[in-house]
């Protein structure tokens, strides 16, 4: 069955399941974990517990990690792996309320050497919103790849903001969504006025349409990317009606409809490319940051519910499609919702938070390249 039909069929099945999903005022610790995450020897990485559970009051719960790796405190588990840690490790977390276990989850951490993808090459395209447009994490990825024994990376893309380091490019634009990349056409683009046309939409015979093969020809030197990373979801879901039962899932169904089409188009045009879908990043833990940005229009608890459900559904929807070239990147784990954000910005990290996003992407990319090297 073609990839798009598979994804659409899966989306319809999830729609039937989601109809009964609603939230109470305090729905309990709905714990979500990916099946696996990757750590690189010598590179700090971690899990912030507030990002794992749906609760308005994270202090209500305590968290207990069972693992031979890393160390824990009340807010997070962290690891700086050594060569002796290389390999797969079981990892379990228990959520406790008043000393009683109320939820538990398991995953695997795969520790890889920093040189796991030495002598490999990578043509990387990043597609995203304002988090990518800021270019802090792409720059940090470039810094990591410039270290010894790293693969040789070529950043693809038509967008090179003034903050981009030499050789860094991407397709990241403030406020953009899966749908905008799929359909938006601006006949008279003006980057100085932030008037951008989707780099993937062209006016063929006067009618705008998605054309990934043309993008590859004209923007990528007619050589497809090896990996495309998508970091989207905040703008797609931010304004969803979180107070009405079922409305968030309806919005997510719509998001996935657009995402599936764009992913399928990339898969058709570049069938050997790995398509990495990043789990939508959590927000600043401070209510005051939402007041500073949105007054009373968008409270943190509303976005917390939307983002948590979106990550839950992203894991359901995109996992298990590795044979089709689709992979999940757990960017929601290693992002500190306190120290990774400035006090007055709800959804945009500070430099420390962006570097944490880069650490997760870098680890996943090295593991992917190393696994492909073994397969060849």
Q: Is the dihedral of CA 227, 221, 166, 114 positive or negative?
A: positive
**pLDDT, tens digit, 9 for 90 and up, residues 223-234:** 999 999 999 999
Q: What letter does residue 50 receive in the DSSP assignment?
A: G
The full set of domains in the chain, from first to last, is: 3-28+116-375 (3.40.50.1110)
Among the ranges 16-20, 294-298, 359-363, which has the highest mean pLDDT value? 359-363
Rg (CA), the chain: 20
* Measured distance CA(282)–CA(346) in Å, rounded: 10
Given this model, what pLDDT does residue 59 score? 87
Given this model, what pLDDT does residue 191 score? 78
* Measured distance CA(81)–CA(114) in Å, rounded: 10
Given this model, what pLDDT does residue 373 score? 65
CB 283 within 8 A of CB 217: no
Given this model, what pLDDT does residue 189 score? 84
Residues 6+ apart with CB under 8 A from 50: 58, 75, 282, 285, 337
**pLDDT, tens digit, 9 for 90 and up, residues 299-333:** 999 999 999 999 999 999 999 999 999 999 999 99
CB 268 within 8 A of CB 211: no
**pLDDT, tens digit, 9 for 90 and up, residues 130-187:** 999 999 999 999 999 999 999 999 999 999 999 999 999 999 999 999 999 999 999 8
Strand partners, 100: 97
Task: Tell me the three state secondary structure of residue 66.
Answer: strand
Residues 6+ apart with CB under 8 A from 265: 200, 210, 212
Which percentage of the chain shows pLDDT scores above 70? 91
pTM of the predicted protein model: 0.92
pLDDT, the chain, mean: 92
- Position 5 pLDDT exceeds 70: no
Which percentage of the chain shows pLDDT scores above 90? 85
Given this model, what pLDDT does residue 16 score? 32
Given this model, what pLDDT does residue 23 score? 43
Q: What angle do CA 221, 227, 231 make, to 5 degrees?
A: 110
Q: Is the dihedral of CA 19, 57, 319, 362 positive or negative?
A: positive
Given this model, what pLDDT does residue 375 score? 52
* Measured distance CA(291)–CA(303) in Å, rounded: 13
């Amino acid at each position: 069955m073609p990839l798009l039909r598979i994804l659409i069929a899966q989306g319809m099945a999830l729609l039937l399941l989601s109809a009964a999903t609603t939230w109470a005022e305090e729905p309990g610790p709905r714990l979500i974990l990916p099946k696996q995450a990757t750590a690189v020897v010598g590179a700090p990485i971690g899990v912030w517990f507030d990002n794992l559970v749906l609760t308005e009051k994270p202090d209500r719960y305590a968290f207990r990690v069972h693992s031979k790796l890393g160390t824990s405190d009340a807010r997070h588990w962290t690891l700086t792996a050594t060569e002796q840690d290389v390999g797969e490790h079981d990892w379990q977390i228990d959520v406790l309320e008043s000393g009683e276990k109320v939820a538990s989850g398991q995953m695997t951490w795969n520790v890889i050497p920093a040189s796991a993808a030495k002598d490999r090459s990578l043509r990387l395209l990043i597609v995203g919103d304002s988090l990518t447009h800021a270019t802090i994490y792409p720059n940090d990825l470039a810094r990591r790849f410039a270290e010894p024994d790293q693969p040789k990376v070529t950043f693809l893309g038509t967008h090179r903001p003034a903050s981009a380091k030499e050789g860094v490019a991407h397709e990241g634009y403030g406020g953009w969504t899966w749908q905008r990349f799929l359909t938006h056409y601006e006949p008279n683009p003006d980057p100085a006025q932030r008037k951008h046309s989707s780099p993937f939409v062209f006016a063929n015979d006067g009618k705008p349409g998605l054309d990934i093969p043309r993008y590859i020809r004209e923007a990528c030197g007619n050589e497809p990317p090896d990996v495309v990373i998508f970091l989207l979801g905040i703008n797609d879901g931010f304004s969803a009606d979180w107070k009405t039962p079922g409305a968030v899932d309806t919005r997510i169904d719509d998001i996935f409809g657009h995402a599936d089409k764009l992913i399928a188009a990339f898969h058709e045009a570049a069938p050997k490319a790995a398509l990495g879908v990043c789990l939508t990043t959590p927000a600043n833990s401070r209510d005051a940051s939402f007041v500073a940005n949105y007054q009373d229009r968008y409270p943190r608890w509303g976005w917390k519910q939307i983002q948590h459900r979106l990550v839950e559904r992203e894991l359901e929807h995109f996992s298990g499609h590795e044979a089709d070239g689709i992979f999940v990147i757990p960017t929601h784990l290693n992002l500190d919702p306190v120290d990774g954000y400035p006090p007055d910005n709800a959804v945009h990290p500070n430099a420390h938070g962006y570097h944490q996003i880069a650490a997760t992407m870098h680890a996943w990319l090295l593991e992917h390249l190393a696994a492909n090297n073994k397969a060849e």
